[in-house]
Amino acid sequence: LADKLVPYTLLGSALVYLLTRNTSRALSVLMVDFSCALKLAMPLTVLSAMRQAGTSHVTVKGGKYLEVMARADTIVFDKTGTLTKGVFQVTGVYPAPGVDKKVLLGLAAYAESGSHHPISQSLKDAYGQPLKGERVSAIQEIAGHGVQALVDGHPVAVGNAKLMKKIGAALPDERTDGTTVYVAADGKYIGCIVISDVVKPTAKAAMAALKENGVKMTVMLTGDAKAAADRVAAEIGMDRVEGELLPGDKVAQVEKLLAEKGPKENLAFVGDGINDAPVLSRADVGIAMGALGSDAAIEAADVVLMDDDPSKIALAMKISRHTLQIVWQNIVFALAVKAVCLVLGALGIAGMWLAIFADVGVMVLAVLNATRALKIK
């Protein structure tokens, strides 16, 4: 804006001189200038806001993302590690008739022995015995489905209902009291293990704070079974939930939401895993969890929550909106004062001192106003 106005200032000064042949009036018009207050105060406001966000453990990678955050009205969340702690615990073991619980847990733990996923770790913790590497081989992870492996030479499949259907293992009624891991051996269903994730204590308050900040819709995306996903969504107050999603399905869901939003509306995506990196890049603004999030997610994100607290999203939005208010205050104030002084200078009513105030004085006042971005309750 400032760069566009400077040529007009020069043109106006020349025009005043040509019309009046008065050097003092022309210099007064030139002295007023439009650029100083705008060029200095706006970047200072943004930098002050970014510093304020940093003191609250929110890292913003650029000033333009503050504007996008301020106008975000749809927030999409990945569930695990974002709204939940990603700390899974086995809360139920349900073997098929004739199958021992310990055997069921052992087969699941061995099949998952090559994975570092939190669900896999919870199965190994529940088994509670050292795993012997020679007992398991041919481990194969199937994205969005689970794991297949040979345990003591027998094919074992551990995963969701889709995996059981894929290998032809008939299931009883599906459970809805948590994330259910189904286990099959030699192509036959032998039981299931229920694992529950712990919801972050600030998740529910975070959703309420977003609504207070004008967010129209909150969406949760997860690979969990629909019943388990609905339970978590109801607990924390989500507007919409999509379950049983493969990693690629999340991108499709975000694309769908982007197509539905208005031209002046923005969509933010919040995630933490390596599978979230493509979605973080595709959203209008990507927000990553910085403490436990993957390097790929942090790299792809525009905003990073360093303490993994979802309630900081509402704070970031508040800082962004406060910043935009200050920027517009400076713009309107600078343009209004300078416009008046230009007219007065051109008419010969105001002299050089008023022109100096319009340039330097307005700049100082705008800078002082910009420092207000350093403080926000």
DSSP code at position 132: P
Rounded CA separation 200/195 (Å): 16
Catalytic pick among 78, 197, 272, 309: 78
Rounded CA separation 87/199 (Å): 9
Structure token pair of residue 302? 């525009």
Strand, coil or helix: what is 87? strand
Q: What is the largest CA-CA distance in the chain?
A: 106
Q: What is the DSSP string of 213-277?
A: TT--EEEEE-SS-HHHHHHHHHHHT-SEEE-S--HHHHHHHHHHHHHHS-TT-EEEEEE-SGGGH
Rounded CA separation 237/239 (Å): 7
Structure token pair of residue 226? 């629909």
* Antiparallel, parallel or unpaired: β 217-221 and 72-78: parallel
DSSP code at position 58: E
Residues in Cβ contact with 369 at an 8 Å cutoff, skipping those fewer than 6 apart: 41, 45, 326, 329, 330, 333
284 is catalytic: no
At how many degrees (to 10) do helices 362-370 and 312-346 cross?
A: 170
CA distance readout (Å), 93 to 65, 119, 167? 46, 14, 22
Q: Which residues are catalytic?
A: 78
